[in-house]
């Protein structure tokens, strides 16, 4: 019943209704509160002035003025009554319930009468504090409004059911428990308040004081006040006016304004309206039941949301931990490669230190021996060995020639971690909406007639289905690694054609594409299988060549007139498979020393190929004009082999060759060579590789 309490409180004072009256708008007010919010109107607006002017409006018609109520201006907190010259705009106040109320224009005159009997100011107007409808009172004043006896009874029963222990009604702050009740005053007192406010002397000495429990019973058993007619106060309601929808007495039917109206028995209409209210309550009860079930559903949703949140957080943590574990494993692999590079550099430098130390020891010994020989005074003995010593000194000096005192290894690590794709993927890591509010694009269709491969490049083309109505914001093209591995994104954009370069030769790639928009991504298209060229066709790259290199014959022939070594790279790099190409020496004079092999992209371009740790080359051994040098790069076995005129030069020249390599040559002194590509691997090597 606590939910009902707001229905039982006056919108003006905020307390339970005391002697409530019913306004024409069906809202209720305490009778005292109604008197407090009266506003006086001008004489010209009074009923008497209308009657004097011959308006022909009866007194009872003014009770229906609520149909032409005056409203506050845009509910701004001020009430204005147009044309009321004697009643200026009165600012409103707020009741404890938050409803705007209008104070009286003048203080009520001092009176000892009850609010119902005290006279009201002439030509008064009352405004409902809830709906702001206004009406001018007639000569009866507040007595013209019916009293709500039903509401009084409901409040009485509610207060009796709620008050477990009766409290004193006169305590100002914390009410104490009542000890007595005065039957005449109908007030509960504690001992201090009884001695102060209800002394046992004078007229109060005749009042009967009873215990609080007995007083509650006497209250409950007190006869209910009978509702009387507002126009004829001595008459009880006996009939019900159907047109005015209100109870009336028999005098209202004989001489009042209800004489010509349809009336029905009060008891019959009481039962009928009770039945109608019960039926209406049944519908409202169904809605209230549905609302309670809905609240239960919402509370269950709160619990389910909390459980799902915990489960989802655990899943998210597990997924992120899996990513961290994968990153740690990859970190360990990369560190192993760094350690391998570290050991390789140390081995090269230590070998060079050992070699240089031995040669330096030999050179120092020769120098000391020569100095001792110079000290000899025997000319004939000196001349017998001087020529041989001079030749040994010159030979030893030549051994310390160009490149001997140059480090074969740099201190810098030729490794650079490319973490930008991973960082981009981490930044793009986000949740995918399971349910989309709008459709995703249709699956793209690969146009097979426009898809092709050339050398180690692949061109793919696709389009949206002809009947597709959902636009796509872009497309995502994915290829695997050419070895049946996982797919990876190679293109994201709005174009419907893409060429992918840098693929492995003699490899089979799987390609697929999907479309996306703001809602999500479409399913993948059918997978297209692409085969790259079995052998590599390429030329020299002018962009990588030293400025002294001269290219001709569609960049297949190169020469250099400089006396210093100059490097040029091929246009295609290799990181997988077996590749073979040849170079023929077209011009070889003036004692050049060309070098042939492979190099990384950042190899030094102004030193002989192979002098740093970024190139592997053959520099001597039967290279003359007309010679054919073959280079066999086997990245499956990670080794490099050289051929001169179809004869292998010793065993494998270099092993542990791993990474991305470009064909390379270094030239000087007008030597000229021509590149031949698209060659198959020599038969003997293929058969040997198959046996192995």
What DSSP designation does 661 have? Answer: B
Check: CB of residue 503 under 8 Å from CB of residue 460.
no
**Angstrom distances, CA of residue 458 to CA of 77, 376, 595:** 77, 79, 33
Confidence of residue 86 (pLDDT cuts 50, 70, 90): very low
Q: Report the percentage of the chain scoring pLDDT > 70.
A: 82
pLDDT for position 685: 73
Residue 606, pLDDT > 80, answer yes
Q: Which of 253, 7, 283, 250 is nearest to 148 (CA)?
A: 7
Which comes out higher in pLDDT, residue 67 or 573?
A: 573
pLDDT for position 53: 42
Confidence of residue 497 (pLDDT cuts 50, 70, 90): very high
Confidence of residue 692 (pLDDT cuts 50, 70, 90): low
- What does the pLDDT look like over 427-477, one tens digit per residue? 888 887 655 456 889 999 999 999 999 988 999 999 998 878 889 999 999
Residue 479, pLDDT > 50, answer yes
pLDDT for position 547: 92
Helix then strand count (H, E) for the chain reads 10, 35
For residues 500-506, give the mean pLDDT: 89
- What does the pLDDT look like over 287-346, one tens digit per residue? 888 888 889 889 988 998 999 899 889 999 999 999 999 999 999 999 998 999 899 989
Confidence of residue 122 (pLDDT cuts 50, 70, 90): low
Residue 490, pLDDT > 60, answer yes
pLDDT for position 80: 35
Residue 98, pLDDT > 70, answer no
pLDDT for position 172: 84
Most confident of 44-58, 217-231, 403-417, 477-491: 477-491
161 Cβ contact list (under 8 Å, min separation 6): 1
Confidence of residue 249 (pLDDT cuts 50, 70, 90): confident
For residues 632-661, give the mean pLDDT: 89
pLDDT for position 94: 46
Q: Which of 172-181, 257-266, 539-548, 636-645 has the lowest mean pLDDT?
A: 257-266
Residue 649, pLDDT > 80, answer yes
Edge-first strand order for the sheet with 615-618 is: 566-569, 662-667, 595-599, 615-618
User: How many Cβ atoms from other residues are within 10 Å of residue 177's Cβ?
Assistant: 13
pLDDT for position 57: 39
CA 566 distance to own-chain centroid: 57
pLDDT for position 85: 33
User: Residues 383-398, buried b or exposed e (16+ Cβ, 10 A)?
Assistant: eeeeeeeeeeeeeeee
pLDDT for position 19: 86
- What does the pLDDT look like over 407-421, one tens digit per residue? 888 888 877 888 888
Confidence of residue 87 (pLDDT cuts 50, 70, 90): very low
pLDDT for position 58: 39
Q: What is the mean pLDDT of the chain?
A: 81
Residue 546, pLDDT > 90, answer yes
pLDDT for position 36: 84
Residue 39, pLDDT > 80, answer no
Confidence of residue 100 (pLDDT cuts 50, 70, 90): very low
Residue 555, pLDDT > 90, answer yes
Q: Which of 37-46, 224-233, 409-418, 594-603 has the lowest mean pLDDT?
A: 37-46
pLDDT for position 259: 76
Q: Which of 150, 148, 151, 161 is nearest to 219 (CA)?
A: 161
Provide DSSP, 50-119. Answer: HHHTT----TGGGGGGGGGPPPPGGG-SEE--TT-TTS--EE-EE-TTS-EE---SSPPPP-SS-TTTSP
pLDDT for position 489: 94
Check: CB of residue 176 under 8 Å from CB of residue 165.
no
For residues 226-250, give the mean pLDDT: 79
Q: Which of 626, 555, 556, 644 is nearest to 589 (CA)?
A: 626
175 Cβ contact list (under 8 Å, min separation 6): 167, 168, 169, 190
- What does the pLDDT look like over 182-230, one tens digit per residue? 988 888 999 999 988 898 888 888 898 988 867 665 555 445 556 777 7
For residues 524-552, give the mean pLDDT: 93
**Angstrom distances, CA of residue 130 to CA of 26, 50, 74, 124:** 10, 29, 14, 19
For residue 29, give the 3-state DSSP assignment.
strand
| Pairing state between β 180-182 and 187-189 | antiparallel
CA distance 559 to 550: 5
Q: Report the percentage of the chain scoring pLDDT > 90.
A: 31
pLDDT for position 364: 93
The token pair at 612 is 């740093």
User: Residues 449-463, buried b or exposed e (16+ Cβ, 10 A)?
Assistant: eebebebbebebbbe
Instruction: For the chain, state the CA radius of gyration.
Output: 55
For residues 241-265, give the mean pLDDT: 81
What is the chain's length? 692
- What does the pLDDT look like over 358-389, one tens digit per residue? 989 999 999 999 998 898 888 888 888 888 98
What DSSP designation does 142 have? Answer: G
For residues 544-573, give the mean pLDDT: 93
Distance, first Cα to last Cα, the chain: 94
pLDDT for position 216: 61
């Amino acid at each position: 019943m606590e939910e009902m309490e707001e229905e039982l409180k006056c919108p003006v004072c905020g307390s339970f209704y005391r002697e409530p009256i019913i306004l024409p708008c069906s809202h209720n007010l305490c009778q005292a509160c109604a008197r407090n919010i009266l506003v006086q109107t001008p004489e010209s607006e009074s009923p008497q002035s209308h009657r004097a002017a011959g308006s022909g409006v009866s007194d009872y018609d003014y009770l229906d003025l609520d149909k032409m109520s005056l409203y506050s201006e845009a509910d701004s907190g001020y009430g204005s009554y147009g044309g009321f010259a004697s009643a200026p705009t009165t600012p409103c106040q707020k009741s404890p319930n938050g409803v705007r109320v209008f104070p009286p224009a003048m203080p009520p005159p001092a009176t000892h009468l009850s609010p119902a009997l005290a006279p009201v100011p002439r030509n008064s107007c009352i405004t409902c504090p809830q709906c702001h409808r206004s009406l001018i009172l007639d000569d009866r004043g507040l007595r013209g409004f019916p009293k709500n006896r039903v509401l009084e009874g409901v409040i009485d029963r509610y207060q009796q059911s709620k008050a477990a222990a009766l409290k004193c009604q006169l305590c100002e702050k914390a009410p104490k428990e009542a000890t007595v009740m005065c039957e005449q005053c109908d007030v509960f007192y504690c001992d201090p308040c009884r001695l102060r406010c209800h002394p046992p002397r004078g007229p109060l000495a005749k009042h009967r004081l009873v215990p609080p429990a007995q007083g509650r019973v006497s209250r409950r058993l007190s006869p209910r006040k009978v509702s009387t007619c507002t126009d004829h106060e001595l008459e009880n309601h006996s009939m019900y006016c159907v047109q005015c929808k209100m109870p009336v007495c028999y005098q209202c039917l004989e001489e009042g304004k209800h004489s010509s109206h349809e009336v029905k028995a009060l008891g019959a209409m009481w039962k009928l309206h009770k039945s109608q209210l019960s039926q209406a309550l049944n519908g409202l009860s169904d809605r209230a039941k549905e609302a309670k079930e809905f609240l239960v559903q919402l509370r269950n949703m709160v619990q389910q949301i909390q459980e799902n949140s915990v489960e989802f957080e655990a899943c998210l943590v597990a997924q992120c931990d899996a990513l961290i574990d994968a990153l740690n494993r990859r970190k360990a692999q990369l560190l192993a490669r760094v350690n391998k590079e570290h050991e390789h550099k140390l081995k090269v430098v230590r070998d060079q230190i050992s070699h240089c130390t031995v040669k330096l020891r030999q050179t120092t010994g020769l120098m000391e021996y020569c100095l001792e020989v110079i000290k000899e005074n025997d000319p004939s003995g000196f001349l017998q060995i001087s020529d041989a010593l001079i030749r040994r000194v010159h030979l030893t000096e030549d051994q310390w020639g160009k490149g001997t005192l140059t480090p074969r290894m740099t201190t810098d690590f030729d490794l650079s971690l490319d973490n930008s794709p991973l960082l981009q993927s981490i930044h793009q890591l986000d949740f995918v909406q399971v349910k989309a509010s709008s459709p995703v694009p249709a699956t793209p269709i690969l146009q097979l007639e426009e898809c092709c491969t050339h050398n180690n490049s692949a061109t793919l083309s696709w389009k949206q289905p002809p009947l597709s109505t959902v636009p796509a914001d872009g497309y995502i093209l994915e290829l695997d690694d050419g070895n049946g591995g996982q797919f990876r994104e190679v293109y994201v954009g709005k174009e419907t054609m893409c060429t992918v370069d840098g693929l492995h030769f003699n490899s089979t790639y799987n390609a697929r594409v999907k479309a996306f928009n703001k809602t999500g991504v479409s399913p993948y298209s059918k997978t297209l299988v692409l085969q790259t060229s079995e052998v590599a066709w390429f030329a020299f790259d002018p962009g990588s060549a030293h400025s002294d290199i001269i290219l001709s014959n569609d960049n297949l022939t190169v020469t250099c007139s400089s006396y210093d070594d100059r490097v040029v790279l091929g246009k295609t790099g290799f990181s997988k498979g077996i590749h073979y190409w040849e170079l023929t020496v077209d011009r070889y004079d003036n004692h050049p020393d060309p070098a042939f092999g492979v190099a990384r992209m950042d190899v030094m371009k102004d030193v002989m190929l192979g002098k740093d740790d970024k190139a592997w080359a053959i520099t001597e051994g039967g290279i003359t004009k007309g010679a054919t040098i073959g280079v066999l790069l086997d990245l499956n076995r990670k080794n490099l082999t050289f051929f001169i005129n179809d004869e292998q030069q010793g065993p494998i020249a270099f092993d542990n060759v791993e990474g991305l390599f470009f064909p390379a040559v270094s030239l000087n002194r007008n030597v000229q060579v021509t590149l031949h590509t698209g060659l198959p691997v020599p038969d003997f090597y293929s058969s040997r590789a198959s046996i192995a």
